[in-house]
Amino acid sequence: MSNFKEAANKTLNLIFDMVEKNYDFLDVDYEDENLKIEKEEKVFIVSIHNPTSQIWLSSPISGAHHFELMHNTNNWIGTRDKNLDLIKVLEKELGSLR
């Protein structure tokens, strides 16, 4: 398994666990390299995109984002906006659904 694939799977597992632990009002499902997080009609999709070595986020709040792993870290940073961190974006947006 490539470093990207290993890091991406680890990150999706981390997000799954984070949602299960901290956002018990949300439904979360992990299948085929896609994580689906939902509350009523609000659906977030976090997916591994192998061709670009990125994690993609589809958010009903902020739209579509692509994240790439920063070298020597476990941080996934936005490809268009380097100030966006995948985990921080999710924490903020999921928290706003309370």
Mean pLDDT, 10 residues at a time, over the chain (98 residues)? 89 97 97 96 97 98 97 91 97 96
Q: Please provide the distance, in angstroms rounded to a whole number, between the alpha carbons at the two ends of the chain.
A: 37
* DSSP letter (8 states) at residue 52: G
CA distance 57 to 67: 8
Q: Which helix (H) or strand (E) holds 2?
A: none
CA distance 76 to 98: 25
* Pair 53, 4: CB distance under 8 Å: yes
Q: Which domains does the chain have, with CATH numbers?
A: 3-95 (3.30.920.10)
CB half-sphere exposure, 19, CA atoms < 13 A: 24
